[in-house]
Amino acid sequence: MNLSGTRCAQWADAALDGRPVGANDALAMLSDSQLDAMDLIHAAGRVRRARFDNTVTIHILDNVRNGACPEDCGYCGQSRDSTAPLKPYKLKPVDEIVADAHAARRSGAYRFCMAISGRGPSNADVNHMCDAIQRISAMGMRTCLSAGLLDRAKADRLKAAGLDRLNHNLNTSSRHYPNVCSTHTYDERRDTLTAARSAGLGVCSGLIVGMGETHQDVVDVAFELKRIGAESVPVNFLLPIGGNRLAAPHCQGEPLTPLFVLRVLCMMRLINPNSEIRIAAGREHHLRSLQPLALWPANSLFMDGYLLTQGQSAHDTFHMILDAGFKPHLDNPHELPDELRDRITRGVDGSRPTVLPSVDSALPEGRTLLKPTVTAQPNP
């Protein structure tokens, strides 16, 4: 084995044995041109398969309140400062959220993730979401909520309603955070995660790469998430949304490339071997033709789009997973339409699935789960 392969294999061995991989090694994974990306992908894939076999958990996002946020997060089209052409809407009625969850489940979603715009939820917002969560949990569906800053009392109420996980991304390092947002602090974000953990909620917290940070910032947030013990780590790559303050994705002064995106995902896997690593926003835009390789380090993804932008369809997502030799984690396969279940099974067995329904096709006519209103600028 050459030096590159040997170093990557040693990192995988360490991750599998529970020995720490150091920050300098993590930096090398991002920036050392002597390291072959395929060696890194192979090493990360060994760890991923040891921890999560060949399964892929599929998450579907529901933007339950859109826009009109008083915060100034530079990456977000819902921010007070963004001029992205959004169509804001108020909190969806509980019946509508529950119908969205049913549709997500029938499309093969493993977890239903709800997001509310704003600095943090009011007591009335929490009551509303508790009603929705109780009904969705009663369906046997896993839930995750992203609701901004939360204190322990609100986290307790959500936990009592049946919420599994709270999502609140650290986004970047504490050092870089003031360049991203000035209306709340990194410590407030950490406090929200502490409240979630104290309430017994699972912690979903990740990052956004491409907001003008350095490689060191990316490594620092990877280690902070390890320290926190985030069970779930969504790894986002900044989408160039016109009207947002941060609209030109770059890291360490360089534009994001597909191979760099893969290096980030591999580093996140090797530093956080036991966490669910999710390839999140920017998957299609930044990985382009290399998307399937992300399934070696990552064991989870979003299907049918993100909060504000469209993404790969359910059909193409299942197709990609099966073609690459992985298997969707179907929590309730018996509840899927026969046709969908059979096609997925056939795909695992080697044949190609044909047409799969989108989430929106499972909703009443005229309704869509997501309301994408902004479009990422095309790659140069």
* Active-site pick, 7, 46, 65, 73: 73
Q: Are 21 and 47 in contact (CB under 8 A)?
A: no
The minimum distance between CB 308 and ligand SF4, in angstroms, equals: 9
Q: How far is the CB of 4 from ligand SF4 (least distance, A)?
A: 38
Asked whether position 313 contacts ligand SF4 by CB under 6 A, the answer is no
Q: Which of 38, 74, 59, 220 is nearest to 144 (CA)?
A: 59
- Catalytic site residue 181? no
Determine the Cα–Cα distance for residues 182 and 42; give it in Å rounded to an integer.
40
Residue closer to ligand SF4 (CB basis): 81 or 331: 81
| Residue 78 interacts with ligand SF4 (CB under 6 A): yes or no | yes
CB of 119 to ligand SF4, least distance (A): 6
Query: Is there a catalytic annotation at residue 73?
Result: yes
Scanning 67-75, 216-224, 273-281, 344-352 for contacts with ligand SF4 by CB under 6 A, the matching segment is 67-75
C-alpha–C-alpha distance, residues 171 and 160, integer Å: 27
**Do the beta carbons of residue 235 and residue 283 sit within 8 Å?**
no
Structure tokens at 21: 């991989």
Is 251 among the residues known to form the active site?
no
221 in Cβ contact with 254 (< 8 Å) = no
Q: Locate tokens 């991304």: which residue?
A: 169
> Residue 173 or residue 317: which is nearer to ligand SF4 going by CB?
173
Query: Choosing from 8, 46, 69, 165, which is the catalytic residue?
Result: 69
Instruction: Report d(CA 260, CA 3) in Å as an integer.
Output: 20
Site map for ligand SF4, 174-193, x if CB under 6 A?
--------------------
Among 57, 63, 107, 117, binds ligand SF4 (CB under 6 A): 117
Number of residues that bind ligand SF4 (CB under 6 A): 10
Q: Residue 66: helix, strand or coil by DSSP?
A: strand
202 binds ligand SF4 (CB under 6 A): no
Q: How many CA atoms lie within 13 A of 290 on its CB side?
A: 19
Window 138-167: residues binding ligand SF4 (CB under 6 A): 148
In this complex, which beta carbon is closest to ligand SF4, that of residue 76 or of residue 340?
76
In contact, 36 and 43? CB cutoff 8 Å: no
Q: Which of 19, 90, 119, 288 binds ligand SF4 (CB under 6 A)?
A: 119
Q: Binder to ligand SF4 among 28, 40, 64, 76 (CB under 6 A)?
A: 76
Q: Where do runs of H (alpha helix) occur along the chain?
A: 3-17, 23-31, 37-52, 94-106, 123-138, 152-161, 177-180, 186-198, 215-228, 258-271, 283-287, 314-323, 338-348
- Give dist(CA 286, CA 255) in Å, integer: 10
In the complex, minimum distance from the CB of residue 237 to ligand SF4, in angstroms, rounded to a whole number: 16
Binding to ligand SF4 by residue 87, rule CB under 6 A? Answer: no
Q: Return the exposure string of 357-370: e unless at least 16 CB atoms fall within 10 Å of the residue's CB, then b.
A: bbbbebbeeeeebb
According to the binding rule CB under 6 A, does residue 172 interact with ligand SF4? no
Query: Which one, 117 or 272, has the nearer CB to ligand SF4?
Result: 117
Catalytic residues: 69, 73, 76, 113, 144, 204, 278
Interacting residues toward ligand SF4 by CB under 6 A: 69, 71, 73, 76, 78-79, 117-119, 148
